[in-house]
Structure 1
Amino acid sequence: MAVKKGQEIELEIESAAFKGKGVGKFEGMAVFVHGTAPGDKVKARVFKKKKKFCEAKLLEILEPSPDRIEPKCRHAKVCGGCSWQHLPYDKQVQYKGEQVRDHMVRIGGLEPSIVKDAMGARNEFYYRNKMEYSISSKRWLTEEEINRDEFVDDTAFAAGLHAPGRFDKILNLQECHLQVPESYEILDFVRSYCEENDIPPFDIMNKEGYLRHLMIRNSYHTDDFMVNIVTYQDDEEIIRKLSAALLEEFPFISTIVNNVNDTKSPTAVGRFENVIHGPGYIVDKIGDYTFKIHPNAFFQTNTKQAETLYSVARDYAELKDGDVIYDLYCGVGTLSLFVSPKAKKVVGIELVDVAIENARFNAEENEIDNVSFVLGDMKDVFTTEMTEEYGAPDVLITDPPRAGMHQDVVERLIELKVPRLVYVSCNSSTMARDLKLLSECYEVQEVQPVDMFPQTWHIEAVAKLRLK
C-alpha cells in the first residue's frame, strides 16, 4: 500500500539525516521527521510525498529514544534556532560527523576513512557572540493557543526570533541560551520599556511603527558589549531616552548604536547609522590578531571555535617560509591574517565591497603589510592575469558560501594545479560535490568536521588536498 499525503503513520527513527531531521522507514520508503532522535518510536503525519521519500510532522513520541533528553529551553520545540536540544551534545557531534562522512562517500566518492571524528565546541550553550532579535506587532501562537476553540489575539509587542517559515510572526522569547545571559536580559528589558512607554513595534505588513530589530554583540576576549537598536524612524528623543535607560540598568554596555532602516528591506542593516554611546564598535581577537567589529561587519559567530577551525586550516596548509597564499572568499580577512606570519604574500579575494573595506582596515590595524585584498566575483577575477600579477600560489585556501564554488573556479583550480589546497566549508554536501570534481588532479587526504554551532544541525568541515 502506497504512503499517502495526510496519512498518519508509526515508525522507528533509525538515524539522523541532513538538516537535523530523523529518518526512518515505512513500507520501505524513507520518512524524514523533524524534532526526532535515533531510537524514537513516533506517530507522524505525512505532509510531503516524493517518489523515493516523504516528510512527516511529528504528532507523538510513542517511545522515546534512550538518547533523548529534556531541552534546556522552553522554546526548543518551536524555535528554529536550536533544533537539536533534545540530544546530548556528544550525540550531536557524533551525528554531525556521520553526516559529513555520508556526504563525502555518497556524493564525493571518497573513502570513509579519510573523514575524522568531528571536533566538538568548548561551550554547548552561550557560545554566540552575536544575536539578531526581531521585533514585530504579531506573535507566534503556542500550540495550545492554536488548538483552542475560542479566538486568540496574536497582536503584541513580540521580541525574539522568527517562527520557522514565517516572515511576519515572531516567537516572543521568554529565554534564550545561545548568547551570554545578559543578551536575553537586555531584550526583555527593551520589550518591557517599549510597552510601558508606548513605543510601537514595526508592522511589516502596514510599514509603520518604530522598533525593527535588536542586535547584541559581545566580545570573547574583552569586556566590550554592543547594543545595536534598529528602527524604522530616526527619532533622537526616543533613542536617547531608551539608551539612557539601558545604560542605567546595564552599565557594562560599552557602545550603543542606532541603525535606521526606513526602507522596505527586512534586514537589520540601516540605511544610515547613529552612534549614541561609546565608540560605535567592539574589539575582539582571533589568535594573535585584533579586530574592530562594527555593527554590520561580519565576524565569526563563535569566536573560540573559529580559532579551532582556523588552526585546522593552517595545519592542513603546512605553511612554509616564503609561501604565496591565496584566500578565496576571504570575507573580512580574518583567516588571511591568521595564516600571514610565514607568508611572503597573502592574496584575499571577496565579492562584497564592505567586507573588503573591513579586511583592509583589519590588516592596517594589525600592522600587516604582506596581505592584499582584491574585490570582485571569484569567477571573473581569479584569472591567469591575477596569478601573473600576484604570483602563482604555493597554497590556496577556499571558503565558499553554502552553494559551494562556481564551476569556473573549480576548473581554474584544476588548471592552476596548486601544490597545497585547503577547502573550508559550511555545507558538506556542496563541498563533497566540489571535491569529486577536484579529485581529477588533487588527492583528498583528510576531512576534519568542526562543530561551530552546538544545538543545531550545522557543521563546518576542512579538507586537505594535495596535487597528485
Structure 2
Amino acid sequence: MAYIVNKNDRLTVYVEDLTHDGSGVAKVDGYPLFIPNALPGEEVEVQVMKPMKKYGFAKLIEVKKASPDRVEPPCHVFWDCGGCQLQHLSYEAQLVQKRKTVRDVMDRIGKLPHVPVHPVKGMDNPWRYRNKSQIPFSESNGETIAGFYKTRTHDIVDTDVCIIQSEEADELMSTLKHKLHELGIRAYDEINHRGMLRHLVIRKARATGELMVVLVTRTKKFPQKEAVIDVIKNVVPEVTSIMQNVNTQNTNVIFGEETILLYGKPYIVDTIGDIQFEISARSFYQINPEQTEVLYGQALEYAQLTGNETVIDAYCGIGTISLFLAKQAKEVYGVEIVPQAIEDAKRNAELNAIDNAHFEAGPAEVVIPNWYAEGKRFDVLMVDPPRKGCDEKLLETILEYKPKRIVYVSCNPATLARDLRILEEGGYRTQEVQPVEMFAQSSHVECVAWLEI
C-alpha cells in the first residue's frame, strides 16, 4: 500500500496542535503525523516511524524553530518517562492548551459551539501535588529498579526522584530499592511471573500528614517482613499505616483482592474542606488535594443547592462529593457499583455525623429506577464517571426520569462531549463547562459541566 509518507522518511514539518496525549500534530498534504515532544508553532525535523492509512507516527529529530513556550523540563528522566507529557511546555501555556482541548471536543464531538468553555482553574504551584504514588519494582542486570513506565510500555524508567509526587515517596522509593537487594528480596519479574515485590503504593493525607505505605506482593509469604517494616519506619517515622496487598495473578492490574495490615491502622484520615474521610489502601480518592477543593467547589456552585433539594450522586465512590452535597441539600442518595466503596461511604458519613446521605451498592441504571419506583423524586443529578464516561444505560435512565439539573464531573473531555451531545438530544441544554487543573505537567484535564432541562 502506498502512503503519502514512508517509513524512515526525514521531513521538516510545522506543528499545528497537540493531541489529547500531548504529542505534536503536523500535516503533510493533509496527512496527520503525531510527534511526541513537539509543540505547536514549532518547525521540526522528524523521522517517520510508523505510517498508517489515515495517519502516522514520527520521531522528533531536531527542533529547528522552537515555540516561545518551550522550557527545559526540570525532571531528568522526562524524555523517557511516561508519567508526564508536558513538562517541556510552560505552565501558563499548558493551561491554554488544555482549554483548547476542551473547546475542540465540545465543537467536534459534542456539536456544542455555543457552550462557553472557561479558562482552566490552575494551580499556584504545579509540583509535588500528588497524594498517591504507585511505583512498579523490577530487576535489571541483577539490580533492583523502581520508577515509572515508559510511554505505552511496561519498561521501567529507573529513578530516585519524581517531582510531582511527595518527597516521602521519593525517599521510600530510593531506600527500598537498595534495601530490598541487601535483604535478598527479589522484585517482580513481569515476563516470567517470579519475584515478590510488585508495587510500592504511598498515600499521604495533606491535611493531617498521615501516611500509608502499601507493599503489593506476588505471594502472601513475605520473607524479612519485620526488617522491611523497620526500614519504612526509619525512612518515614510519621508512617501511620503499613499494608500488604497480595496479587498472585499474572496481570498488569496493580492490586489483588487480599489486603493485610502489617503496622498501625488500616486507613489514613484526610479532610477536604471541613469533611473528614477515612482512606483505605484501595479507596478511590482524588490525587490532587488542593485542586479537589476547587473541583468540588465548582460542582457545588453548579448544583445551586438551597437546602430543599434531593440529589443523586452517581458513581459516588467513597462519598467524597456526596458528603459535600449533603451539607447543602435536603437529602443525598449515592450509588456506586463497588460494594467496598459504599461501605467506606457509609463509614465516612458516620464519621462526619451526616445523616441525610444514603448509599446503595449496584449499577446506577438499576438502582436509580428502583428509587423512583419507591416514590423518591430528585432535583439534581451529580455524575462523576470513569474515563470511559457514563454507561449507555445510565444515560437512558437519566433521559427517562429527567432530573431538572445535571452536574457532570469528567476526567475525559472527549467522553464528556459525547455524553453531553446525547443529553442535549434528550432535551437538556448545556449551560457552560469549567475545566479544572488536576494533573499538572500531564495532558489530562478535569471538567465540570452544568446542564438544565
Q: 2:75 aligns with which of 62, 65, 73?
A: 73
1:254 aligns with 2:256: no
| 1:52 to 1:269, Cα distance in 2 relative to 1, 3 A | closer
Question: Partners of 1:98 and 1:254 in 2: how far apart?
Answer: 42
Question: Partners of 2:281 and 2:243 in 1: how far apart?
Answer: 7
| 1:224 to 1:135, Cα distance in 2 relative to 1, 3 A | same
After superposition, the C-alpha distances for 1:245-269 in whole angstroms (9 at most, x for unaligned) are 2212332222222222233344332
Shift of 1:52: 4.0
1:160 aligns with 2:147: yes
| 1:159 to 1:390, Cα distance in 2 relative to 1, 3 A | farther
| 1:437 to 1:113, Cα distance in 2 relative to 1, 3 A | closer
Q: TM-score, length-normalised on structure 1?
A: 0.92
Q: 2:412 aligns with which of 412, 423, 427?
A: 427
- 2:189–2:195 CA contact under 8 A, matched in 1: yes
Question: Partners of 2:373 and 2:124 in 1: how far apart?
Answer: 43
1:218 aligns with 2:204: yes
1:17 aligns with 2:19: yes
Q: 2:397 aligns with which of 392, 404, 412?
A: 412
Shift of 1:273: 2.6
1:56 maps to what in 2? 58
Residue 101 of structure 2 aligns to a residue whose secondary structure is helix
After superposition, the C-alpha distances for 1:81-124 in whole angstroms (9 at most, x for unaligned) are 01100011111111001100111111111125511111112331
- 1:262–1:271 CA contact under 8 A, matched in 2: no
Structure 1: give runs of 5+ residues left out of the alignment: 139-153
- 1:302–1:453 CA contact under 8 A, matched in 2: yes
- 1:263–1:271 CA contact under 8 A, matched in 2: no
Q: 2:94 aligns with which of 92, 95, 110?
A: 92
1:107 aligns with 2:109: yes
Residue 170 of structure 2 aligns to a residue whose secondary structure is helix
Question: Partners of 1:271 and 1:460 in 2: how far apart?
Answer: 29
2:225 maps to what in 1? 239
Q: 2:379 aligns with which of 391, 394, 409?
A: 394
2:365 maps to what in 1? 379
After superposition, the C-alpha distances for 1:410-457 in whole angstroms (9 at most, x for unaligned) are 222222222111111111111111111211311111100111000000
Q: 5 Å matches for 1:58-207?
A: 58-111=60-113, 114-138=116-140, 154-167=141-154, 169-207=155-193
| 1:374 to 1:271, Cα distance in 2 relative to 1, 3 A | closer
| 1:397 to 1:113, Cα distance in 2 relative to 1, 3 A | closer
Q: What's the Cα RMSD here? A: 1.8
> How high is the sequence identity, in percent, across the aligned residues?
38
Question: Partners of 2:451 and 2:265 in 1: how far apart?
Answer: 43
Shift of 1:390: 5.7
Name whichever of 60-69 and 295-304 sits farther off.
60-69
2:443 maps to what in 1? 457
Residue 367 of structure 1 aligns to a residue whose secondary structure is coil
Residue 326 of structure 2 aligns to a residue whose secondary structure is coil
Q: 1:345 aligns with which of 315, 320, 331?
A: 331
Residue 93 of structure 1 aligns to a residue whose secondary structure is helix
1:229 aligns with 2:219: no
Amino acid at match of 1:319: L
- 2:404–2:452 CA contact under 8 A, matched in 1: yes
Q: 1:302 aligns with which of 259, 267, 288?
A: 288
Shift of 1:395: 0.6
Question: Partners of 2:149 and 2:221 in 1: how far apart?
Answer: 26
| 1:421 to 1:56, Cα distance in 2 relative to 1, 3 A | same
Question: Partners of 2:174 and 2:300 in 1: how far apart?
Answer: 41
Q: 2:310 aligns with which of 324, 348, 361?
A: 324
Amino acid at match of 1:377: P
- 1:395–1:420 CA contact under 8 A, matched in 2: yes
Shift of 1:237: 5.1
Shift of 1:155: 4.9
2:273 maps to what in 1? 287
Residue 118 of structure 2 aligns to a residue whose secondary structure is coil
Shift of 1:59: 2.5
Residue 285 of structure 1 aligns to a residue whose secondary structure is strand
- 1:122–1:305 CA contact under 8 A, matched in 2: no
Shift of 1:284: 0.3
Question: Partners of 1:98 and 1:423 in 2: how far apart?
Answer: 19
Amino acid at match of 1:426: C
Question: Partners of 1:324 and 1:225 in 2: how far apart?
Answer: 36
Aligned residues: 450
- 2:183–2:224 CA contact under 8 A, matched in 1: no
Question: Partners of 1:426 and 1:273 in 2: how far apart?
Answer: 28
After superposition, the C-alpha distances for 1:194-215 in whole angstroms (9 at most, x for unaligned) are 1222221111222221211111
Residue 103 of structure 2 aligns to a residue whose secondary structure is helix
1:149 maps to what in 2? none
| 1:73 to 1:347, Cα distance in 2 relative to 1, 3 A | same
- 1:446–1:464 CA contact under 8 A, matched in 2: yes
Q: 2:264 aligns with which of 258, 278, 281?
A: 278
Amino acid at match of 1:431: L
Residue 57 of structure 1 aligns to a residue whose secondary structure is strand
- 1:41–1:61 CA contact under 8 A, matched in 2: yes
Residue 224 of structure 2 aligns to a residue whose secondary structure is helix
2:388 maps to what in 1? 403
- 1:104–1:112 CA contact under 8 A, matched in 2: no
Q: 2:421 aligns with which of 436, 446, 450?
A: 436
Residue 446 of structure 1 aligns to a residue whose secondary structure is strand
Q: TM-score, length-normalised on structure 2?
A: 0.95
- 2:143–2:181 CA contact under 8 A, matched in 1: no
| 1:61 to 1:225, Cα distance in 2 relative to 1, 3 A | same
Shift of 1:280: 2.5
Q: 2:301 aligns with which of 310, 315, 319?
A: 315
